[in-house]
Amino acid sequence: MSAPAAVREAPHHRNLTCVKVYRCRRPECRRRSADYDRNRNRLVAYGRWQPFVDADPVRQHIAMLRSYGIGWQRVYRLAGVAAGCVSRILYGAPHEGRGPTKRVRTTTADKILAVKPSFDHLAPMARVDGTGTRRRLQALIANGWPQLRLGEEMGIKHHRLIWDHVRQDVVAADTARRVKDMYERLWNADPIAHGVSPRYAAESKRRAAANGWVPPAAWDDDYIDSPAAVPDVGESVDRYTAIAEDARWLIAEHNYTRAQAAHRLGITKKHLERALSQRPEGAEA
């Protein structure tokens, strides 16, 4: 009597292959397979079973993502599909004499089409426009944050890199994200209250003024990244002046309390109280 054939071990347990091909007996894998069969049978009964779709819209979507700096190898990782799936959609299998695939599994298409050209999806070293990064760093320096301290906040040992980023037209996506995160933390924070020497804070403000850099109050968050946007300097670019004017308008026109006005402006009530006390009504101009 011959010995039973050895059961091959599935290379992974991420999809239906382990059950359909390797007869995997893991409970979670069998459950996944059973769910798939139930869903398939239901869709077949309703005449809605469509396991494959046209690959052209998926190819066009990948091309659009690539135009935003999201390479195809980044796409397959974000979509959670195999690299070979995306490679075959784009290039086919040249070594086998096959061109780009004409159809793709519906589930694969859905996953790839779900990847959007978000700034957060860019690969760390992808090159992006440096406008927003420059403006955010310049605005923080205009608020009194020294380059050395900004470098520490970003985990950069060589603070001269901050000066480089202030002037660069193109930066790495990871740098742009780190600057944006830091800006969100510090745009309305008092550097002196956070341990910056008054001397260095004043020196940073002088440097910003000499270069024509404006503080955060002069930028609209929705447009700070746009090269076409211009700062709203008004009669004064002073941060406290802008906060005091906006808060008084909310209180007078919309009957906000000071706490509500602070929340609407994205600052703490203590920060708002400080702005109102340092910029008395009638003295903003």
Instruction: Say what the pLDDT of residue 116 is.
Output: 84
Instruction: Say what the pLDDT of residue 193 is.
Output: 92
Instruction: Say what the pLDDT of residue 142 is.
Output: 93
Instruction: Say what the pLDDT of residue 285 is.
Output: 42
Which ranges of the chain have pLDDT less than 50? 1, 3-5, 236-237, 284-285
Instruction: Say what the pLDDT of residue 131 is.
Output: 87
Instruction: Say what the pLDDT of residue 237 is.
Output: 47
Instruction: Say what the pLDDT of residue 282 is.
Output: 63
The 3-class secondary structure across the chain, one letter per residue, is CCCCCCCCCCCCCCCCHHHHCCCCCCHHHHHHHHHHHHHHHHHHHCCCCCCEEECHHHHHHHHHHHHCCCCHHHHHHHHCCCHHHHHHHHHCEHHHCECCCCEEEHHHHHHHHCCCCCHHHCCCCCEEECHHHHHHHHHHHHCCCCHHHHHHHHCCCCCHHHHHHHHCCEEEHHHHHHHHHHHHHHCCCCCHHHCCCHHHHHHHHHHHHHHCCCCHHHCCCCCCCCCCCCCCCCCCCCHHHHHHHHHHHHHHHHCCCHHHHHHHHCCCHHHHHHHHHHCCCCCCC
> Residue ranges of the domains in the chain?
10-49, 52-121, 127-231, 238-285
Instruction: Say what the pLDDT of residue 272 is.
Output: 86
pTM for the full predicted model? 0.53
Instruction: Say what the pLDDT of residue 283 is.
Output: 54
